[in-house]
Structure 1
Amino acid sequence: MTLEPLDAAGLPQPVDVSDNTADLARVDEVIAAGPFDATWESLSGYRPPRWFAEAKFGIFLHWGAYSVPAFETEWYPRNMYRRGSPAFEHHVATYGPQSTFGYKDFLPAFRMEKFDPAEWVALFKRAGAQYVVPVAEHHDGYAMYETKRSRWNAALIGPRRDVMKDLLTAVDDAWLIRGASSHRAEHWFFMNGGLEFDSDVRDPAYADLYGPALRKEISPTERFLEDWLLRTVEIIDNYRPQLLYFDTGIEEPSFDPYVRRLAAYYYNRAAEWGREVVINYKWDAFASGAAVPDIERGTAPGIQSMPWQNDTSVSRTSWSWVEGHDYKTATELIAELADVVSKNGNLLLNIGPKPDGTIPDPEARLLEEIGAWLAVNGEAIFGTTPWTTYGEGPTQTLAGSFVDASSAHYSDADFRFTTMTEVGHRYVYAIALAPSPSGRLSIRSFAASSRLVGEIRDVRVLGHSGTVQWRRGDEALEVELPEESRSRAGGSVVRIELEPERDGERIDFFHGLWI
């Protein structure tokens, strides 16, 4: 790829953000107005909203100038300055030395000239997503929104439009829920490799893009932390996301007072709007109960008492667009969705658009396949709650972060369970995690000898309008699948109707969230 260096003469003037006194005072005024204050005791009174617990499935978007080189991962902006790394060698061989062509020089080529937000959102809606979370700013320091705190943003350089505003407007128009993601916390060290040799990171003219570039071993400065807080406040005020996702970095101890201020500000502003909101965090950045935990590329060990989220990508290779992705299959992603939902979680599934603003064909196809499965089987996902046990089957999976449950080789003997109650009806859904070549499913948890359930009133296969053949034996509930249920991506779903609860009884789920 042949690219021209950035024309520095045409750049907007740097923004003076040295005096934050007035902006910080306004933040503290909102906090003082309540209902939350900036203490963990107060913030732990937060409760996740019903909309999040019922939504189950969202779309995550890693889009940015790192998709222009499209090499390895979205960490290209860091790795291109790390001597000896494949990205460093690739960069020098392809674009020349970092002193003459640095990361800033990719920004003008990030044009998104084919970006059609309505088309994107129509795809997300067909996929079954209920909320959309674009990355507002990644670790690279380039904002995908119009900001008064930096000249390095998509409204001024690259596409020259507020692409995040355009996308979230389309999200609103489709009656989906808007979110936003901030990854800026790690920007304080992200470009520090460029200080070790002759590169444009050393050039004071671009210090407002490349950031402090401090050593990772030391904590960020108060000025950086104030800027992080105010950039996030700007996203909250200008875009009103109902979900605010934070990547790693904010768990660093120096962030703690700023994280508490940010959370109190967000929750209090949401109270002003009359909206219920969610903060996603990783590791131990928040006190338990103060926000919704997120497990990156992983899963929980079992049913959790409160909602949580797994964020993962359609690709094992990268979160952003790169050449040569190792894509997961739709069946793997559907199994991951079922696993997460069975444990009281949501799946936030990432795609990476190309720099011209189009969604790669393989990623669009995966979303269409997931949507086709949900169109038939969404009854077993949306608005459900966990059952007595989250699942059964011979395949063992690891719990925790970065274990990608979708890498497990599930069989049609692996199931995940969810449940739903309606007036006079009590359903449990057995979601097979793989298609069944034999056309028969054996579900051990519903055997006649099982202590988990009493009498079964009826058995159906979702997507099939007629009756099915089933037999409840001592070892398993045996279900014959209709022909049309055997060849779709993803496993079949068996809906088992149990005898309703006795008069006067009700089914409560954790903390009275559902009655």
Structure 2
Amino acid sequence: MKIKFLYSILLIMFISSKPVIAQNTIHPTSSNYQYPTEPEVREKLENWRDLKFGMIIHWGLYAVPGIIESWSICNEDWIYRDSTSKYDDYKKWYWGLSKDFNPTKFNPESWAKAAKDAGMKYVVFTTKHHDGFNMFDTKESDFKITSGPFANNPTSNVAKYVFEAFRKENFMIGAYFSKPDWHTQYYWWDRYATPDRNVNYDIRKNPWRWNKYKEFTYNQINELTSEYGKVDILWLDGGWVRPLETVNDEVRSWGAPIPPFSQHIDMPKIAKMARSNQPGLLIVDRTVHGPYENYRTPEQSIPKTKSDTPWESCITLGGAWGYVPNDNFKSATKVIHTLNEIVAKGGSLLLGVGPTAEGTLLDIQVTRLAEIGKWLEKNGEAIYGTRVTDYYNENNVFFTKGKGNTLYALVNILENSQVQSSISWSKNIPKAGSKVILLSENLSLNWEKKGEKVFINLPQEIVEKYKSYPALALKFEK
């Protein structure tokens, strides 16, 4: 117990003293994009693009001590551990957390309710992160939630019940799956050390072992897409597991070592099987540009400009993807401003939320989500189902395009500031004689064009009522 306690304290100290970040995967949203050719996939992709706002849930062993997800067992320069601890002992301690992970308060219905209250429309759940701990009852490994102290709980097959709970709320269902698996002997073989995130043996000299890994990965994805009900998105993380010929400057910029051989897992074969199980399945092979990256996923960032091709920004509500104690959570206003900018640039926001080891969301997380949803309830028309318009931003005003000639102006109000009695912008001028509607009140506002600008005038009672509001949404015809 003393060793476990020491490691917990050391890692929590690390989290507290360093910025809490996951590995960022920032990449362009338009270069080399290939639209899917299958009609069912294209249709689902457009349906997904209408949703705009989703939740990604990181939950696994790392929630027990409350540390950064998986990465602490990777031996790279940016990983900080206590210098007096032995690396192999640390890995054994980390993987041993499977004996302590007993989330007896797991209640996926409460997660789904919180997401629905936030105005979210799709979910991505971590069925397995890089550490190899499975949050579903896979037949390929005993390193799973259904083999530990939670095994006899009727909801021990966690992914199944998460998907069911969100399906009941009409969410589009996404299965996060890590292509690398640091626990299996087919990826990190204990014959050798584990110097970095990559496979730790030479695939060229050990083709049997790598083929076993490909079979292992194929079988797990087959399970997820055939035994867990309707799945809409297969969200594949770990972009360093890829054909060598796809490694480009973007991949090199991550700073991670790149072995001189392919770590390909035969994505064409996997995609064919997965879509046979789930017709129309969206596949997101993150950062591997081509036919199996149906939409782009810049991480913890927003692209500088708009894109007409499908993408989402995955950004955390707090500072970490999973649960860490004393995390700093973004305000509802900050999230709403982020959502407005992303949607105006043609993307979607996938907001990261991490449950505790007991299986609950923190009160502050639930409160933040409800505050966001309260705004979307009144103003969501300017978000959902919209597309990008040529002139998408001017200062603190972001524009989205609705049906026909309908445009929306999203006016972000800075925190600790208040709405002004007059709002103006150039271009995107409302059609002469048309109305400008304040969505939250369904109120027609007075407006006029002066020179090359439009000026929207707000009544004094609206200025007072909305003085601490996150953003105004205006609807007009162009």
* TM-score greater than 0.5 by the shorter chain: yes
Q: Contact 2:34–2:291 at 8 Å: present in 1 too? A: no
Deviation at 1:47, TM superposition (A): 2.1
1:308-457 to structure 2, matched below 5 A, reads 308-315=311-318, 317-393=319-395, 414-421=396-403, 426-435=405-414, 437-445=418-426, 450=427, 454-455=431-432, 457=434
Deviation at 1:307, TM superposition (A): 2.0
Q: 1:491 to 1:215 in 2, by over 3 A?
A: farther
Asked if residue 471 in structure 1 is aligned to residue 437 in structure 2, the reply is no
Q: Contact 1:443–1:476 at 8 Å: present in 2 too? A: yes
Asked if residue 227 in structure 1 is aligned to residue 242 in structure 2, the reply is no
Q: 1:298 to 1:189 in 2, by over 3 A?
A: farther
Q: Contact 2:131–2:183 at 8 Å: present in 1 too? A: no
CA distance in 2, matches of 1:362, 1:90: 36
CA distance in 2, matches of 1:64, 1:51: 30
SS at match of 2:54: strand
- Return the letter of the residue paired with 2:476: I
1:9-408 to structure 2, matched below 5 A, reads 44-45=37-38, 47=42, 49=44, 50-71=46-67, 73-79=68-74, 86-88=80-82, 98=89, 102-160=93-151, 161-185=156-180, 187=182, 214=200, 221-239=210-228, 240-249=230-239, 250-253=241-244, 254-256=262-264, 258-271=266-279, 276-283=280-287, 285-287=288-290, 291-315=294-318, 317-393=319-395
The two structures, once aligned, show a CA RMSD in angstroms of 3.6
- Return the letter of the residue paired with 2:474: V
Deviations 1:138-191 (A, max 9, x none): 001100001100011111114221111111111122222221101242638999
- Return the letter of the residue paired with 2:363: D
Q: Contact 1:390–1:418 at 8 Å: present in 2 too? A: yes
Deviations 1:371-430 (A, max 9, x none): 11111110101111222322111xxxxxxxxxxxxxxxxxxxx121112126xxx42111
- Return the letter of the residue paired with 1:326: N
CA distance in 2, matches of 1:319, 1:42: 29
SS at match of 2:326: coil
Q: 1:188 to 1:2 in 2, by over 3 A?
A: closer
Q: Contact 1:319–1:350 at 8 Å: present in 2 too? A: yes
Deviation at 1:331, TM superposition (A): 1.5
SS at match of 1:224: helix
SS at match of 2:180: helix
CA distance in 2, matches of 1:292, 1:124: 22
Q: Which has the higher contact order (CA 8 A, sep 6+)?
A: 2
Say which is worse superposed, 231-240 or 459-468, in terms of deviation. 459-468
Tell me which residue corresponds to 1:34: none
- Return the letter of the residue paired with 1:477: F
CA distance in 2, matches of 1:217, 1:323: 40
Aligned length: 415
Q: 1:268 to 1:194 in 2, by over 3 A?
A: closer
SS at match of 2:388: strand
Deviations 1:327-370 (A, max 9, x none): 22222211221122112221111100000011122222221111
Tell me which residue corresponds to 2:20: none
CA distance in 2, matches of 1:314, 1:100: 28
Q: 1:304 to 1:4 in 2, by over 3 A?
A: closer
Q: Contact 2:413–2:419 at 8 Å: present in 1 too? A: no
Deviation at 1:301, TM superposition (A): 3.8
Q: Contact 1:341–1:418 at 8 Å: present in 2 too? A: yes
Q: Contact 2:430–2:476 at 8 Å: present in 1 too? A: no
Q: 1:77 to 1:257 in 2, by over 3 A?
A: closer
SS at match of 1:359: coil
Q: 1:194 to 1:103 in 2, by over 3 A?
A: farther
SS at match of 1:294: coil
- Return the letter of the residue paired with 1:187: W
SS at match of 2:89: coil
Say which is worse superposed, 107-116 or 131-140, in terms of deviation. 107-116
Q: Which structure 2 segments of 5+ residues have no match? A: 6-32, 245-261
Q: Contact 1:144–1:164 at 8 Å: present in 2 too? A: yes
CA distance in 1, matches of 2:88, 2:290: 45
- Return the letter of the residue paired with 1:60: I
Q: Contact 1:225–1:255 at 8 Å: present in 2 too? A: no
Q: Which structure 1 segments of 5+ residues have no match? A: 6-39, 202-210, 394-413, 499-515
SS at match of 1:230: helix
CA distance in 2, matches of 1:150, 1:439: 59
**Percent of matched pairs sharing the same residue:** 23
Deviations 1:426-446 (A, max 9, x none): 42111123345143353313x
CA distance in 2, matches of 1:291, 1:100: 35
Q: Contact 2:435–2:445 at 8 Å: present in 1 too? A: no
CA distance in 1, matches of 2:202, 2:446: 62
TM-score if structure 2 supplies the norm length? 0.76
Q: 1:471 to 1:216 in 2, by over 3 A?
A: farther
Tell me which residue corresponds to 2:472: 492
Say which is worse superposed, 46-55 or 167-176, in terms of deviation. 46-55
SS at match of 1:385: coil
Deviation at 1:465, TM superposition (A): 3.6
CA distance in 2, matches of 1:314, 1:65: 20
